[in-house]
Amino acid sequence: MKFFNRIKSAFYALTHDTTTISLLDERFWTQYGSIRNSKLSEVTYFTCLKTLSEAVAKLPLKMYQETTKGVSKAKNSALYNVLKVRPNKNMTATTFWATVVTVMYHYGNCYVYIARNKEPELLILDNRYMTVYDDNAKLIDDNGGVWYIYSEPVTGKVYKFSTDEILHFKTYMTFDGIMGLAVKDVLALTIDGAMDSQRFIKNLYETGLTGKVAVEYTADLNEELRKKLISTIETATSANSALTFIPIPAGMKLNPLNLKLTDAQFLELKKYTALQIAGAFGIKPNQLNDYEKSSYANSEAQQQAFLTDTMLVILKGLEEELASKLLTSEELQQGYFFKFNVDVVLRATFSERMEGYAKARQNGWLSANDIRGKEDMPHIPEEDGGNAYLINGNMIPLKVAMEGGSQNAKTQEQETEWFQVLYPKSDR
């Protein structure tokens, strides 16, 4: 218990002053390096991190059990509410997963300590104080394996964690299967180039955009007059100058040095760089507000592609790590598993959902309560038919139809015989 409290205190010290702070607060990110001088200051890079973290954070994560009767929610498990509502006392599930994905992609790895108390908690550890060892030589333990050495920043004590005690979330880019690579490291030159372009624009604004001039003169000036002239022109052409004209001596001419961003194809280059960074993250152009070649139809297709090409591999990795570290072998044998609900992203319009529900209802694979549960509506009592599965009466199995056809043929023959008995040919 003392160790757990120390871990909590370290977590508090890293992420809190005396008040609660958010991910957008600079005080939080100063623990991971200065924002102003880090890759986070590059708008495309930050947007990609924001898009990925929010995409995962808004998906509900639930624990299920697969049985012979189907799949049901494992609400009786202590882990159900931990993952669905509050992984630790300081974070909701939304904040927790947003932080995990942000740290994971910014650093390549995210480490979460599993506090196995009466009420389990998941605590995010600081990457700066974690060292990962692949103990192939069995120097740490006779069983070898991967070990996590954490230097607690508050007390300075060093703790050794086995792989079962740490949730190790990593990016999809890894060369050894243990440590993930950060996008900012792989695309260091590209991101640095984008940051340099931002600094260039900033400097242009600070100096009055393209307000540079060359002074042309033929007469000789002494050093004192030259300095005075330069000072006067610099003051007049500065971005904050309130002067509406530039006083220059007679015989001198000002030649503006106009640098146009379009002439240097600056904007095209910046857009190309942004798309390169986004592509490394698996982010689609419309998610960067690039609708130049987009329509409603292909924007929807891009959103679907983002889910299938980018999100599913992230979610699958998170689910597998949770199952392997949080569930016992017995629970795995009993069919327990974790799953993010991607239907939140794919949720159709009201009319589209109603049309789909109607088809499912008529074809007998959804009951009224199944549909109402998907719409977060209260169930209809079972005695009122809420759990009944219906099917269109015009549709019958082929075998029944064949048997019915034979029976109909016999019935028709009998009816013909009775008709002949009742109405002989002499009476017709």
pLDDT class for 191, splitting at 50, 70, 90?
A: confident
Global pTM exceeds 0.85: no
pLDDT class for 185, splitting at 50, 70, 90?
A: confident
Q: What are phi and psi of 38, to 5 degrees?
A: -105, 175
Nearest-Å Rg of the Cα atoms of the chain is 34
User: Is the model more confident about 58 or about 206?
Assistant: 58
Distance CA 280, CA 2 (A): 43
What six digits make up the tokens of 90?
């300081």
Per-residue pLDDT of 192-207, as tens digits, reads 777 777 677 666 666 6
Average pLDDT over residues 208-230: 67
Residues 386, 361 contacting (CB under 8 angstroms)? no
pLDDT-wise least confident of 60-74, 194-208, 369-383: 194-208
Per-residue pLDDT of 123-137, as tens digits, reads 999 888 898 988 776
Per-residue pLDDT of 3-19, as tens digits, reads 555 555 555 444 444 44
User: Is the model more confident about 160 or about 234?
Assistant: 160
List of E strands, 21-152:
61-67, 70-73, 109-115, 121-125, 130-134, 146-151
Helix (H, G, I), strand (E, B) or coil at 137: coil
**DSSP one-letter string for 341-352:** -THHHH---HHH
Return the closest-CA partner of residue 55 out of 22, 100, 10: 100
Q: Is the predicted pLDDT of residue 277 greater than 80, yes or no?
A: yes
Average pLDDT over residues 326-334: 91
Q: What are phi and psi of 214, to 5 degrees?
A: -115, 135
